[in-house]
Amino acid sequence: MSDEMKVTEEYGGSQIQVLEGLEAVRMRPGMYIGSTSASGLHHLVYEIVDNAIDEALAGYCKHITVTINPGDSITVTDDGRGIPVDIQPQTGRPALEVVYTVLHAGGKFGGGGYKVSGGLHGVGASVVNALSQWLRVRVHKNGNIYEMKFSRGTITQEMTIVGKTDKTGTEVTFQPDPEMFDTLEYDYEILRDRMREEAFLNAGLSIQITDARGEEPVSKTMCYAGGIREFASWKNKHKTVIHNDVIYMHGTKGDASAEVAIQYNDGYQENLLSFANDVRTPEGGMHETGFKTALTRVLNAYGMKNGIIKGDDKVSGEDCREGITAIISVKLTDAQFEGQTKAKLGNAYIRTLVDQIVTEQLATYFEEHPATAKIILEKAMMANRAREAARKARDNARRKTGLESGGMPDKLKDCNERDPALCEIYIVEGDSAAGSANQGRDSRFQAILPMWGKMLNVEKARVDRIYGNDKLSPLIQALGGGIGEDFDLNKLRYHKIIIMSDADVDGAHIRTLLLTFFFRYMRPLIEHGFVYSAVPPLYKLTRGKKTRVAYSDEERDAVSAEMRGDSNVKIDIQRYKGLGEMNKEELWETTMDPERRTLRRITLEDAIRADEIFTVLMGEQVEPRKEWIERNAKYAINIDF
């Protein structure tokens, strides 16, 4: 009690509130910056930069710099008007002081779920001040340089004019408080990536980030005149896009604005990035909902109107978003963040705004760019067919394979072992190779499944025909884990699934088909590293009664030289044309014996590549297929995964 009295004597009433406010921040920092780990530490920078970005949004600032100084203090500067320094009538204090000492209500992590401020952000300066061991701010304004200093939220130097200037702007340097944070080390890449995002989201704004901690400073300046249009193409930079122009739409309603940029690539991933007031909203929310609804509606309407979609062939929302890269950015003064991590935008009027913008402007864009519209729509219809086919295949698999009854396909030569972790299944191309594999295997733990005794002409067969017919049923049945959404790794009967096919074009096709199938319908198999490619030898070398094999041209030459030794005897070299040429002993020794074989584990990247090749090879369009084959003709023999 007496302490409080003393404070009352020394400070005015409003000062007590100030200290109590900032003390609250130091008592529960997580409430204000999310956490006191690395994420919270970096958040301090974002809070300060937000203020400078507000100045840019107001139209007064073009360039922001962020510097990590030696010792991990941070300096942020802008070339805006400078924080006001005049005395506020309500408090009788300089506005600059109020900015740093008065805790603003709410905050993204606060209880209210609101951000309340004149600008879009700019509530966090006092929070950063409270959590800084020291903080110094300099304002260039009115021809003067004003300076003020703080320690852990309290003033250590009142606002003072320390020099003259002909510029305007704000410069802040702060040292995060070691008493408050678990870690004090800034990660340059994290800050750079976030600043890049800010630069994309605020077209024309230049942000320079510098790491001045090392011998040589590292620095990057980011400025994108095209804003989120460039963001979308940047996201696609390692992808093959299916239309060159980024589709851009924007609009405003009252204080709120929304913009959307779209570009499709030839992949299957949905790459949707949404932001509210430059803050990522990974859980989506009203802006995403508005976008998705409108996109689906516009694509279907365009397809029906132009006779591309007939009758019941409507494409679903998911179909419309296969291969999409979309940036959605909305700005509003009363953003409500909801959900577990306050990462979901709750303002319903934003849904209406985004929906309106996309409905009107995307339809117009499609009218003006029919070729692009057609490409996108065809991709969605392709996605729709694949989804339909997968559903049919699933139904078929359920019916025909009687997963529940546990019936096994006739062609499967199963192993005796029952523990899936110890079991292997070889998927073998062709009947003769399967014959050798059957006789050569160790039947205790190795199962053999022959497939495509007579190759179906995969090159001509369409996606839905392959999945729709029963060619894959025995495989689904043998593996036992089901398919698609129902796939269950726990029911899998083998933990090594080994594709054994020839090193020729047909073999490559079969691997492509199988990998694509696994990738699309049993992806966990690949993610868990259960799929392998057998590596059969390419050459057999014979000297008298001695034979050896080689898996590559280099090895062939080395082995040949070794076998020949000093004598000048002839070594017979035979190239295996296919697995079918090997007898059971040869196959066991070179390709199946766990002690001697080589297996290549299939990675997700391998599968993604297979999926891409498959799409081109099996797709509807003849031209891309022809092009691909021409482009890859010289490699076709070596397509290998």
Our answer to whether residue 187 is catalytic in this structure is no
Q: Which stretch binds ligand TSJ (CB under 6 A): 10-18, 78-86, 270-278, 377-385?
A: 78-86
By rule CB under 6 A, what string of x and - marks binding of each residue 117-136 to ligand TSJ? --------x-----------
Taking CA atoms, 555 is separated from 467, 558, 564, in Å, by 39, 5, 14
Between CA 600 and CA 592 the distance in angstroms is 13
Between CA 5 and CA 399 the distance in angstroms is 82
Q: Is 83 in the site for ligand TSJ (CB under 6 A)?
A: yes
Instruction: Please name every residue paired with 76 in a beta bridge, in sequence order, or none if there are none.
Output: 66, 172
State the alpha helices, DSSP H only, in 240-343: 286-305, 317-320
Q: What is the sign of the dihedral through the CA atoms of 630, 634, 638 and 641?
A: negative
Angle between helices 622-632 and 604-618 (to 10 degrees): 120
Q: Is 232 in the site for ligand TSJ (CB under 6 A)?
A: no
Q: How far is the CB of 61 from ligand TSJ (least distance, A)?
A: 6
Catalytic residue among 504, 527, 555, 593: 504
For ligand TSJ, the closer CB: 79 or 259? 79
Q: Which helix (H) or strand (E) holds 542?
A: strand 539-543
Out of 25, 45, 76, 503, the residue judged to bind ligand TSJ by CB under 6 A? 76
For ligand TSJ, the closer CB: 81 or 253? 81
Our answer to whether residue 429 is catalytic in this structure is yes
Between CA 64 and CA 56 the distance in angstroms is 9
For ligand TSJ, the closer CB: 76 or 563? 76
3-state secondary structure of 160: strand
Q: Which helix (H) or strand (E) holds 340?
A: none
Our answer to whether residue 338 is catalytic in this structure is no
For ligand TSJ, the closer CB: 195 or 559? 195
Q: Is 81 in the site for ligand TSJ (CB under 6 A)?
A: yes
For ligand TSJ, the closer CB: 55 or 502? 55
**Residue 304 burial (C-beta neighbours within 10 Å; 0-12, 13-18, 19+):** middle
Catalytic residue among 506, 527, 555, 589: 506
Out of 67, 73, 101, 170, the residue judged to bind ligand TSJ by CB under 6 A? 170
Q: Is 84 in the site for ligand TSJ (CB under 6 A)?
A: yes
First to last CA, the chain: 76
Q: With CA atoms as reference, report the closest residue to 333 among 254, 274, 275, 280.
A: 254
**Residue 369 burial (C-beta neighbours within 10 Å; 0-12, 13-18, 19+):** middle
Catalytic residue among 502, 586, 606, 612: 502
Q: How far is the CB of 170 from ligand TSJ (least distance, A)?
A: 4
Between CA 49 and CA 113 the distance in angstroms is 21
Q: With CA atoms as reference, report the closest residue to 31 among 109, 129, 112, 103.
A: 109
Size of the site for ligand TSJ (CB under 6 A): 15
Q: Which stretch binds ligand TSJ (CB under 6 A): 48-56, 209-217, 247-255, 340-348?
A: 48-56
Between CA 51 and CA 600 the distance in angstroms is 53
Beta strand extents in 295-361 (DSSP E only)? 324-331, 337-338, 344-345
For ligand TSJ, the closer CB: 81 or 213? 81
CA 532 to chain centre: 25
Between CA 128 and CA 327 the distance in angstroms is 30
Q: With CA atoms as reference, report the closest residue to 599 among 388, 371, 446, 370.
A: 446
Q: Is 315 in the site for ligand TSJ (CB under 6 A)?
A: no
Q: How far is the CB of 612 from ligand TSJ (least distance, A)?
A: 45
For ligand TSJ, the closer CB: 138 or 540? 138
For ligand TSJ, the closer CB: 76 or 159? 76
For ligand TSJ, the closer CB: 86 or 179? 86
Cβ–Cβ contacts within 10 Å for residue 280, how many?
13
Q: Is 80 in the site for ligand TSJ (CB under 6 A)?
A: yes
Q: How far is the CB of 339 from ligand TSJ (least distance, A)?
A: 27
Q: How far is the CB of 128 from ligand TSJ (least distance, A)?
A: 7
* 8 A C-beta contact, residue 207 and residue 223: yes
Q: Is 420 in the site for ligand TSJ (CB under 6 A)?
A: no
**Residue 191 burial (C-beta neighbours within 10 Å; 0-12, 13-18, 19+):** buried
Tell how many helices (H) and how many strands (E) occur in the chain.
Answer: 21, 23
Out of 55, 197, 278, 319, the residue judged to bind ligand TSJ by CB under 6 A? 55
Q: Which stretch binds ligand TSJ (CB under 6 A): 47-55, 214-222, 245-253, 437-445?
A: 47-55
Q: How far is the CB of 285 from ligand TSJ (least distance, A)?
A: 26
Our answer to whether residue 488 is catalytic in this structure is no
Which is it for strands 324-331 and 337-338: parallel, antiparallel or unpaired? unpaired
Q: How far is the CB of 497 from ligand TSJ (least distance, A)?
A: 57
Q: Which stretch binds ligand TSJ (CB under 6 A): 81-89, 308-316, 447-455, 587-595?
A: 81-89
Q: Is 48 in the site for ligand TSJ (CB under 6 A)?
A: yes
- 454-460 LR contacts (CB < 8 Å, sep 24+): 455/506, 455/509, 455/510, 458/509, 458/510, 458/513, 458/617, 458/618, 459/509, 459/617, 459/618
Cβ–Cβ contacts within 10 Å for residue 120, how many?
21
- The amino acid that residue 303 corresponds to is G
Q: Is 503 in the site for ligand TSJ (CB under 6 A)?
A: no
Catalytic residue among 47, 429, 586, 606: 429
Q: Which stretch binds ligand TSJ (CB under 6 A): 73-81, 358-366, 498-506, 629-637?
A: 73-81
Structure tokens at 619: 């797709």
Q: How far is the CB of 80 from ligand TSJ (least distance, A)?
A: 4
Provide φ and ψ at 340, rounded to 5°: -50, -50
Q: How far is the CB of 172 from ligand TSJ (least distance, A)?
A: 5
For ligand TSJ, the closer CB: 51 or 396? 51
Residue 449 DSSP symbol: E
Which is it for strands 247-253 and 154-164: parallel, antiparallel or unpaired? unpaired
Out of 78, 177, 211, 502, the residue judged to bind ligand TSJ by CB under 6 A? 78
Structure tokens at 399: 């019916």
Out of 21, 36, 45, 51, the residue judged to bind ligand TSJ by CB under 6 A? 51
Out of 18, 25, 41, 52, the residue judged to bind ligand TSJ by CB under 6 A? 52
Q: How far is the CB of 218 from ligand TSJ (least distance, A)?
A: 21
For ligand TSJ, the closer CB: 125 or 513? 125
Q: Would you tell me which residues interact with ligand TSJ (CB under 6 A)?
A: 48, 51-52, 55, 76, 78, 80-81, 83-84, 99, 125, 137, 170, 172
Which residues participate in catalysis according to the annotation?
429, 502, 504, 506
